Copies of this chain bind each other. A is one copy, B any other.
Amino acid sequence: MPTTMSDNFLDHVNFDGNGLVAAIAQDANTGRILMMAWMNREALAATVAKGEAVYFSRSRQSLWHKGERSGHTQKVKEIRLDCDGDMICLQVDQVGGIACHTGRESCLFRILKDGQWHTTDTVLKDPNEMYS
Task: Write the residues of chain A forming the contact surface with B, with a CB cutoff of 8 angstroms.
Answer: 7, 9, 12, 22, 24, 26, 30-33, 35-36, 48, 78-84, 86-87, 89, 100-102, 104, 107-112, 115-117
Q: How many copies does the complex hold?
A: 2
B108:A89 contact, CB within 8 angstroms: yes
State whether A9 touches B80 (Cβ < 8 A).
no
Bound-state CA distance A5–B30 (Å) is 34
Q: Are A9 and B78 in contact (CB-based, < 8 A)?
A: no
Cross-chain contact of A107 among B48, B82, B102, B108 (Cβ < 8 A): B82
Q: Let me know if B112 and A83 touch, CB within 8 A.
A: no
A83 pairs with B109, CB closer than 8 A: yes
- Closest residue of B by beta carbon distance from A76: B112
Those 9 A-B pairs whose CB atoms lie nearest each other, nearest first: A31-B31, A82-B107, A80-B108, A79-B112, A36-B87, A83-B107, A81-B110, A89-B108, A82-B108
What's the Cα separation between A32 and B82 when bound, in Å? 13
Min CB gap A91→B, angstroms: 10
